[in-house]
C-alpha cells in the first residue's frame, strides 16, 4: 500500500460526527495523533506553513480568581498529499466566537439545569477541592446564552461565587470552558445602587481572547451595559443581586487595575455610570 493510500484509509476511518452522541475524546485524540505522526508527502512546491497553537490562560485579577483554559488544542492543521486539509472543530465548536451576541438570551429549565451541573462539576476540584462544599450548596444566580455560549454564575455563603463560560458547540475535544471560583472578602456587599466586580479582566480560550466583567449588583439596579469600542453595547444579565457580561477580545485586559465604566439603569427609571475595578 502506498503512503497516499495509507493516509486515505486513515482519514476514512474517522467516523462522521453525530452531534447528538457523546463526544469520544480518547478516540478523537488517538485518531489525531495517528494523522499527525504520519510523515507528510513532499509537495511539488512549498505550501503555507502550518502551526499548532495552544494559548496560555491568564489570571483575571484579584486573589483567588484564575482563568482556566480547558480547550487545549487550537488551530490544528494536518498536511496530506500535496495540499492542506483543515480538520474542522478540533479546537472548539464556535471558532472566532461566530455565534456570540452582545445581548444575552434566556435558557429553558432543562438547559439551565444542564449548564449549572457542568459548572458545578468543573469547579469541584478548584484549589484541591477547597470549595467543594460551597459548590454543592451554591444557588444559580445567572444562567444566560449568547449564541452557542452559556454563562453560569453560582453563589453561596461568605461571598462565594463561581463563574463558568462554556462553548456548547460540539467539537472533537468536547466543550471549552473558562471561569473562576473563590470567595470575595476584599469588598463589602454593595449598596442599593452599587456594583462590585469579583471577576474582571481577560482570559484565553481556543477561540481567542475573552473579556469578562461579573460581580455583585445592588437591589436598585435594573440593567448594566458596557459600551465596547469594538463590539458596540454589550448588555449584562442582572439577576439575584449579581451581574455578568463578556465579549470576545482583550478589551478589558487592564480593567482590573485601570478600571472600566459601565452604564447602569435603576428601578426608578434613572441612569448613571459606575466604574468597575478590583
> Is a pLDDT exceeding 60 seen at residue 229?
yes
pLDDT of residue 96: 86
What is the number of structural domains in the chain?
A: 1
Average pLDDT over every residue of 101-118: 96
In a domain, 200, yes or no: yes
Asked if residue 218 is part of any domain, the answer here is: yes
The mean per-residue pLDDT over the stretch 22-38 comes to: 53
Q: Which of 9-13, 34-38, 54-58 has the highest mean pLDDT?
A: 34-38
Q: Which residues contact residue 8 at a Cβ distance below 8 angstroms, ignoring those fewer than 6 apart? A: none
Q: Which domain holds residue 100?
A: 77-276
User: Is residue 109 one of the residues assigned to a domain?
Assistant: yes
Q: Picking from 32-36, 48-52, 69-73, 173-177, which range would have the lowest pLDDT averaged per residue?
A: 69-73
What is the average pLDDT score of the chain?
A: 76
The residues that bridge with 142 in the sheet, in sequence order, are 153
What does the pLDDT read at residue 184? 78
Q: Is residue 50 part of a domain?
A: no
Q: Would you place residue 62 in the very low, low, confident or very high pLDDT band (cuts 50, 70, 90)?
A: very low
Pair 127, 133: CB distance under 8 Å: no
Neighbour-count burial of 233, counting CB atoms closer than 10 A to its CB (0-12 exposed, 13-18 middle, 19+ buried) = exposed
| CA angle, 104 then 240 then 215, to 5° | 70
Does 18 fall in a domain? no
Question: CB neighbours of 3 closer than 8 A, spacing ≥ 6?
Answer: 38, 39, 41
Which backbone phi and psi does 131 adopt, to 5 degrees?
-110, 15
Q: What is the pLDDT of residue 173?
A: 61
> What does pTM read for this prediction?
0.68
Share of the chain above pLDDT 90, in %: 54
Nearest of 189, 190, 192 to residue 267 by alpha carbon: 192
Domain-located, residue 72: no
Amino acid at each position: 500500500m502506498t503512503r497516499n493510500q495509507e493516509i486515505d484509509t486513515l482519514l476514512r476511518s474517522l467516523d462522521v460526527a453525530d452531534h447528538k452522541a457523546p463526544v469520544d475524546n480518547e478516540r478523537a485524540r488517538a485518531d489525531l495523533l495517528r494523522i499527525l505522526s504520519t510523515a507528510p508527502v513532499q509537495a511539488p512546491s512549498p505550501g503555507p506553513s502550518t502551526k499548532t497553537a495552544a494559548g496560555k490562560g491568564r489570571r483575571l485579577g484579584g486573589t483567588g480568581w484564575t482563568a482556566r483554559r480547558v480547550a487545549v488544542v487550537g488551530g490544528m492543521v494536518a498536511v496530506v498529499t500535496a495540499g492542506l486539509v483543515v480538520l474542522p472543530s478540533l479546537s472548539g465548536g464556535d471558532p472566532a466566537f461566530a455565534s456570540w451576541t452582545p445581548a444575552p438570551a434566556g435558557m429553558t429549565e432543562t438547559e439551565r439545569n444542564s449548564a449549572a451541573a457542568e459548572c458545578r462539576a468543573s469547579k469541584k476540584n478548584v484549589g484541591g477541592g477547597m470549595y467543594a462544599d460551597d459548590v454543592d450548596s451554591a444557588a444559580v444566580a445567572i444562567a444566560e446564552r449568547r449564541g452557542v455560549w452559556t454563562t453560569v454564575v453560582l453563589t453561596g455563603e461568605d461571598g462565594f461565587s463561581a463563574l463558568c463560560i462554556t462553548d456548547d458547540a460540539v467539537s472533537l475535544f468536547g466543550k471549552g470552558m473558562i471561569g473562576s471560583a473563590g470567595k470575595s472578602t476584599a469588598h463589602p456587599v454593595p449598596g442599593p445602587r452599587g456594583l462590585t466586580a469579583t471577576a474582571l479582566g481577560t482570559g484565553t480560550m481556543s477561540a481567542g481572547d475573552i473579556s469578562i466583567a461579573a460581580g455583585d449588583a445592588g437591589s436598585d439596579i435594573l440593567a448594566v451595559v458596557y459600551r465596547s469600542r469594538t463590539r458596540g453595547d454589550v448588555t449584562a444579565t442582572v439577576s439575584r443581586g449579581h451581574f455578568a457580561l463578556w465579549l470576545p477580545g482583550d478589551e478589558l485586559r487592564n480593567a482590573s487595575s485601570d478600571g472600566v465604566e459601565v452604564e447602569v439603569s435603576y428601578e426608578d427609571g434613572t441612569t448613571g455610570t459606575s466604574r468597575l475595578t478590583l
